[in-house]
Structure 1
């Protein structure tokens, strides 16, 4: 080969290389290669520190709901506001000495009451726990059973020489048990309202609904409050029940907690480098978990689940437990599952983009020349995850590795943003395939 032929051959090689480079550059620019035009600096999922991943919840087990209810005593113990049916022959009601005794009245229970029919004249237990009867001093009956009250009444009339021992046969029954007015506020979707309240409770997962529930004595607990208002929290609610006490001491504790917290925040924000921490839980608010890790026995005492007048049972919504999708994924906001884990592949399917399928919301990777599913599917997913102090970390997920390696498909957590993109070489391949089936095949038939 002479010098001129060698130079000519080298020139052709250089022009070919330049042509290939220009073709790749043109293809890249025409496809809008997002890895170049919209780069995301991500860290591979299998190299990220474990502190950036949420704890799994697949293995959580439900709490025994029997722990949410009180154990009733063997015999009902009286207290203020109980209404008794009392009949004392010759005294209540009063009869003339020669008149025949009047039969005691029969009282039928209210609707939905579990009490049997009772007899006697209604007399309420006073706020101080005493029972006022004719001709004798008030009797202390708080904490006593019906049998004990009956015997105490009998002995009082005998001791005061009002009735002879053989005539002292009082009848004491329970007409209506005392109740506790509890407020229930729910932010989950419910199929119906409660039976035991003055106001029907209805709502949706988008708004809080509440009402007043009257709970009978020894049924004044969290479980009965939930049952009366639609049952256990639904999937749109958090796996916990919050109890806010109505006592003035607890109200002052909550107010003082918030005042101290925001005062410390205002003082610290003077520092430009200050990183605001998450707001801690209010210690005066009782949080009762409904699911726990295996082997964990929740410390739920009876006084924790017992409710009194004015107490508030609050079911909080999971409305903020969402993740977002964008890029080649259909854009949207999606609610995370409550009771099981969701990895990136499941999140893509939930957003309507199965692994290995054509991208939606983009012209790339789809059909060319009327041919569907001809092209390379997008293979790079980025998770934009918030970090403390308003920071962010980008987690890079190679979908080809994620299919085969569980360590490469992290769990999605609330607030994540999932962005699906093509790799640059995938867009070049798709552009080449599209060009060939659009123009190349036409040229073949023309020739």
Structure 2
């Protein structure tokens, strides 16, 4: 027993040594496993870099865009704000009617002259005048008398007397002129000369109204409606026709009211008036001829920039929204429409912007009456600053789908003269905190969303760790 105890006591140092050796062996095995895991992780990380670079791409490194920071860009490249514009006073588009209706060519009068119109024998009882009821759309009261039209030269032809010039006279003045004419020609005695004159139908002015805002309904709010708007759907359907405007209502406001009101959201906020006179047509043709000559001369120089078609000064353009305190300064002659004039409401088919890069690709209509900055455009495209990429956008970045840091750089590709382009760089972090760092979007812009280089690297590190690092650590343990 004592020997056993003694032997056991002698073996204790060797047992302790074995325990220490086993412990070192265990720790060595664990370190070897970790080194193996790190080597595997390094190899898989390298493979992940190659795979991520080939699948999602590191756009900040492989597709760089030379942009100019928004705060360094000249003012001429920025869009004009629209938030401060206010609607014009629409009463400025309407004629002021006279206190009394003035007779003119093409008016139809009801005339009754006892014994003359109609003719009655002296001993026969007088025939009562006919009663005329106006059309359903007319605002005139019922009239009496036989219909007689005012001629183009402004005269009124009546029996037994010379034509009377009634152009510019009121009904009372026409009645007095008829009475005096029959008395002066000894046709009627003064006590029998009691003519009755009424208006059966007012003269009308024929104008043509063409509207490209017709049809669609509730405005443009999303990409699909915007595509229909651009490519030609019901929201861009044009309507037009001949509109008959009554005298003293032949103005721009009445032409718009008769055809649906002010321009809708699908149309530009202005009205164009094309005059039908021969002088205006010849002036427009001379303007186009001069422009064609300038363009042909510019085409001879390969380095010259082809001129754009300027606005025709012979076309009257009336804006419907202006800065506060301004007015269109229209004269009565400018808002008066004559026979054959054309009122044109133009579509906003080209007022769109495009998205790409990490934004869902598409084309979207611009708002007409308010400003749209970069953050609003991203939201309209379906991508918030901190949100997930919407349908149609690439995951982007070498972190792939596991990337947690959102892209922080947006480029606005804006067209300039001579087919040029300027790339406006927007730091989204600054844009969130400072409204002055949010450039306004204008028609024709292309928005490209990208990661910054540091965001790419952080997303790669996070994506690689959560994809491969934890997996290897768990596998080796």
Distance (Å, rounded) in 1 between the aligned partners of 2:347 and 2:398:
39
Tell me which residue corresponds to 1:238: 268
Checking the alignment, whether the CA contact within 8 Å between 2:412 and 2:425 is kept in structure 1 is yes
Structure 1: any 5+ residue segments left out of the alignment?
1-15, 193-202
Tell me which residue corresponds to 1:109: 134
Tell me which residue corresponds to 2:5: none
Tell me which residue corresponds to 2:110: 85
Instruction: Look up the SS of the partner of 2:375 in the other structure.
Output: helix
1:340-419 → structure 2 map (5 Å cutoff): 340-360=370-390, 361-364=393-396, 375-419=404-448
Distance (Å, rounded) in 2 between the aligned partners of 1:90 and 1:306:
42
Distance (Å, rounded) in 2 between the aligned partners of 1:86 and 1:366:
91
Distance (Å, rounded) in 1 between the aligned partners of 2:139 and 2:122:
39
Q: Does 1:214 align with 2:244?
A: yes
Give the TM-score normalised by the residue count of structure 1.
0.89
Cα shift readout 1:171-213 (whole Å, capped 9, x = no counterpart): 0000000001100011113479xxxxxxxxxx95424321000
Tell me which residue corresponds to 1:160: 185
Distance (Å, rounded) in 2 between the aligned partners of 1:357 and 1:48:
29
Tell me how far 1:437 sits from its aligned partner. 2.5
1:106-185 → structure 2 map (5 Å cutoff): 106-185=131-210
* Closer, same or farther: CA 426–367 of 1 in aligned 2, 3 Å: closer
Cα shift readout 1:233-283 (whole Å, capped 9, x = no counterpart): 011111110000000110000011001111111012211111123321111
Instruction: Look up the SS of the partner of 1:251 in the other structure.
Output: helix
Tell me which residue corresponds to 2:124: 99
Tell me how large the CA RMSD over aligned residues is: 2.4
Structure 2: any 5+ residue segments left out of the alignment?
1-38, 218-232
Cα shift readout 1:267-320 (whole Å, capped 9, x = no counterpart): 122111111233211111011111111111221111111111110000011111
Instruction: Look up the SS of the partner of 1:443 in the other structure.
Output: helix
* Closer, same or farther: CA 366–179 of 1 in aligned 2, 3 Å: farther
Distance (Å, rounded) in 2 between the aligned partners of 1:330 and 1:183:
42
Give the TM-score normalised by the residue count of structure 2.
0.83
Tell me how far 1:25 sits from its aligned partner. 6.6
Tell me how far 1:356 sits from its aligned partner. 1.3
Distance (Å, rounded) in 1 between the aligned partners of 2:324 and 2:204:
37
Instruction: Look up the SS of the partner of 1:255 in the other structure.
Output: helix
Name which of 219, 223, 245 aligns with 2:253: 223
* Closer, same or farther: CA 27–395 of 1 in aligned 2, 3 Å: farther
Tell me how far 1:439 sits from its aligned partner. 2.7
Instruction: Look up the SS of the partner of 2:236 in the other structure.
Output: coil
Tell me how far 1:358 sits from its aligned partner. 2.0
Distance (Å, rounded) in 2 between the aligned partners of 1:191 and 1:312:
23
Distance (Å, rounded) in 2 between the aligned partners of 1:258 and 1:205:
31
Checking the alignment, whether the CA contact within 8 Å between 1:365 and 1:377 is kept in structure 2 is no
Work out the number of aligned pairs and report it: 418
Checking the alignment, whether the CA contact within 8 Å between 1:28 and 1:424 is kept in structure 2 is no
